[in-house]
């Protein structure tokens, strides 16, 4: 098992990505460009958590966790825009936003921990 697979934030982000991809399948009317951008932003969170966990120094780890947090913000922006342009179930939007918010909080914690 890789170290990053033990991180709770990685597990939550993996589940979040499953939800995002499921959401995209359910809402195929969303513009393909926006679908792709949402997928890219959300999977970037996952990839940067893994890459950061694999780094040796605290500053390297922190750098990638900060990038992951930026990708989470980017994902939130795409969700907001899609919700504004393509009305869909508010409950689903709220679930996705809450999952993402929890991931961001965890990434803040990882960034602080990695700077020690």
Q: Nearest to residue 82, comparing CAs of 44, 40, 45, 31? A: 31
Query: What does CATH list as the number for 13-114?
Result: 1.20.1440.60
113 or 7, which is more confident?
7
Domain limits, the chain: 13-114
Average pLDDT, the chain: 93
pTM: 0.92
Q: How far apart are CA 101 and CA 38, in angstroms?
A: 16
- Greatest C-alpha distance within the chain: 46
The pLDDT value recorded for residue 87 is 82
Q: Which two tokens stand for residue 53?
A: 């966990």
């Amino acid at each position: 098992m890789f170290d990053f697979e033990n991180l709770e934030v990685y597990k939550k982000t993996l589940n979040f990505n499953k939800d995002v991809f499921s959401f995209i399948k359910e809402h195929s009317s969303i513009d393909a460009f926006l679908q792709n951008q949402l997928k890219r932003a959300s999977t970037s969170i996952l990839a940067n958590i893994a890459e950061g966990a694999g780094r040796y120094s605290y500053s390297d780890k922190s750098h990638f966790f900060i990038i992951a947090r930026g990708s989470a913000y980017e994902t939130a922006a795409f969700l907001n825009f899609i919700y504004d342009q393509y009305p869909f179930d508010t409950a689903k939007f709220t679930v996705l936003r809450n999952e993402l918010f929890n991931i961001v909080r965890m990434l803040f914690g990882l960034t602080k921990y990695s700077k020690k």
